[in-house]
Amino acid sequence: MDQKKELLWGVLAGFLSCLLWILSIPPFEFPEAAYIAFVPLLIWLRSQPSWRRSLGLAFAVGAIAWFVILIWLRHVTWLGTLGLAAILGLFFLVWVAQARWLLPRAASSNFFGRLLAWFAIAGTWVLLEWSREWIFYGFPWAPLALSQWERPVVLQVSAWTGSLGVSFLLIFFNACVAHTLWMRATSNKGKFWSGWFSPDLYAGLLALLACIVLFFKSLPAPGSFDTLLRVGVVQPYILPELKWEQGREAENLALLERQTEFVGAMENDLILWPESATPWPIKGNGVMQMRLEKFVQQLGRPILMGNLAYNSAENTWENGVFLVNPDSGLSSKYYIKRALVPFGEYVPKPFDWFFKKFVPNMGAFLPGHIPELLPLKIKERRYFCGPLVCYEDVFPTLARASVRAGAELLFVATNNAWYGEEGGASQHAAHSVLRAVENRRPVVRCGNGGWSGWIDAYGTVREVLRDDRGSIYFCGGGNFTIGQDRRWLRQKSFYTRNGDWFIGVCAGGVAICLLFAFRRQGLGD
């Protein structure tokens, strides 16, 4: 293939893979695109293009795809969105580099050698997604598994492997399809195993079939769902730039209270407020605390809220979840956010010296260190709630730690109003679906302006708060009835008990594959 054709086919393959990748991620409703998103790029890599073109195209595809996926972030920072997309593009470049090196070697291998190669390509993707949880201050946003958030059939494997098992399945299927199409296009059509009846394609289909079988085995028995509690959700939809505007604090608080009284008139056991619900902190501000305690007493039911705690002596803040009961007031026990937003809620090292030098009196948020559970007394029963604040539901380890500590349901208090009315809220909410399946716990979310709703332990979105136009972005409220399968009331999933064991399996598979590839021309005889 001459250089011009190589470049032309590469650009076309990169464009198709980039487009399908983007369309597979919410808010787009095309999850099936994830099964073939990287097929064009893998086929082009199989033709052994030059390394310079392979890596250049890989970075361009990764950076562009991530920029579009995260386009809602521009409402906060254009520069940050571009920089983050570029960093994430480097992760994609590493994956493409491994695939570019491995694919020609897999071609000369037997079926089992090729399966090992497809395992390694999928395993490398998983390892890169996992590493994003802790590299560069942690940003495991939008794993490929997120594409399936409305497809519970595929998601059930997450209860064993974590959601990264779903990402593995998708990449493995992509590799199997890409090899099948390559052989179909380059081999004699009369050859049985080189055509559509490829054993590689059967291997990919078999993996999908295993997920379908697992789904039917995981289905709850009829009548096995018990009602846990009924919650009222309040969406005040106060724009962040107006929330703390001087002179409007009292007006914003009055709006929150009016909406709560409206929801409180419904039949429910508990009221939920979103992240940083009030314009003043509930802890560290005696006036605000007294007002809320009196309000809750008049309301006659507890409020579980995202809010702030302020220590004036040390000029430090805590972002967390607080419980106010009608009889006992503000609980001394509260949850502190464990995963703070870098450059938003704290300044990471080594950049802190700069801010200390030029902004010495700048306040700082302190992180929490334990998955503090909040007890909810509902009639004669007590439930333990595992709170998560803002993008903490993106981190699998945080939700898992809360469930391991005894959480019977997870509550996410968030404020996505910073990011406009585009795809940010739905994209964020999709992560809660993954956490629900992984840990077999219902997840209820309350957002300042949406997405508010709840997800059952099998990843089915049961209810979403919408207005008359069907939009999630509005000022109002509503009721949810939260239920749980009796099997999981006292039981933890395999993933919750054993954690990221699948990461070790992927790392081992990648290592074995690379060892064979280095020692031989192919991967098998």
pLDDT at 194: 47
Q: What is the mean pLDDT of the chain?
A: 90
Q: What single DSSP character describes residue 1? A: -
In 140-288, beta strands by DSSP E: 225-235, 270-273
Does residue 477 carry a pLDDT above 50?
Answer: yes
Min mean pLDDT across 177-186, 246-255, 303-312 is at 246-255
- Cα–Cα distance for residue pair 69/92, rounded to 1 Å: 14
pLDDT at 450: 85
Q: Are 272 and 232 in contact (CB under 8 A)?
A: yes
Cβ within 8 Å of residue 396, ≥6 positions away: 133, 140, 162, 163, 434, 435, 438, 500
pLDDT at 418: 83
How confident is the model over 407-466, as pLDDT tens digits? Answer: 999 999 999 888 888 889 999 999 999 999 999 999 999 999 889 999 999 999 999 999
Helix segments in 234-378, DSSP class H: 240-243, 249-264, 286-299, 352-358
pLDDT at 2: 73
Confidence of residue 352 (pLDDT cuts 50, 70, 90): low
pLDDT at 361: 45
Does residue 378 carry a pLDDT above 90?
Answer: no
How confident is the model over 484-522, as pLDDT tens digits? Answer: 999 998 899 999 999 999 999 999 999 999 888 777 655
pLDDT at 346: 77
Confidence of residue 196 (pLDDT cuts 50, 70, 90): low
Residue from 178, 227, 229, 186 nearest 204 by CA: 178
- Cα–Cα distance for residue pair 126/492, rounded to 1 Å: 24
Does residue 343 carry a pLDDT above 80?
Answer: no
Residues facing 340 on adjacent strands: none
pLDDT at 525: 42
What is the rounded average pLDDT of the residues 320-330?
95
Q: Are 502 and 446 in contact (CB under 8 A)?
A: no
Does residue 241 carry a pLDDT above 70?
Answer: no
Entry pTM: 0.93
pLDDT at 360: 47
How confident is the model over 63-110, as pLDDT tens digits? Answer: 999 999 999 999 888 998 999 999 999 999 999 999 999 998 888 888
- Residue-range domain boundaries for the chain: 3-219, 225-489
Q: Which residues of 331-357 are buried (b: 16+ CB within 10 A; e: fewer)?
A: eeebbbbbbbeeeebbbeeeeeeeeee
How confident is the model over 32-57, as pLDDT tens digits? Answer: 999 999 999 999 999 999 999 999 99
What is the rounded average pLDDT of the residues 351-379?
74
In sequence order, what DSSP letters do the residues of 259-273 get, joined into one string?
Answer: HHHHHHTSS-SEEEE
- Cα–Cα distance for residue pair 470/200, rounded to 1 Å: 43
> CATH for 225-489?
3.60.110.10
**Sequence-separated contacts (24+) of 135-138 with Cβ below 8 Å:** 136/87, 137/342, 137/348, 138/339, 138/395
Q: Which residues of 88-105 are buried (b: 16+ CB within 10 A; e: fewer)?
A: bbebbbbbbbbbbebbeb
- Cα–Cα distance for residue pair 304/11, rounded to 1 Å: 51
Q: Are 335 and 387 in contact (CB under 8 A)?
A: yes
Does residue 222 carry a pLDDT above 90?
Answer: no
- Cα–Cα distance for residue pair 262/249, rounded to 1 Å: 20
pLDDT at 107: 81
Helix (H) or strand (E) holding 119: helix 111-131
pLDDT at 291: 95
Does residue 478 carry a pLDDT above 70?
Answer: yes
- Cα–Cα distance for residue pair 432/444, rounded to 1 Å: 9
Confidence of residue 136 (pLDDT cuts 50, 70, 90): confident
Does residue 234 carry a pLDDT above 90?
Answer: yes
pLDDT above 90 coverage of the chain, percent: 73
Ranked by mean pLDDT, the top range of 216-220, 275-279, 400-404 is 400-404
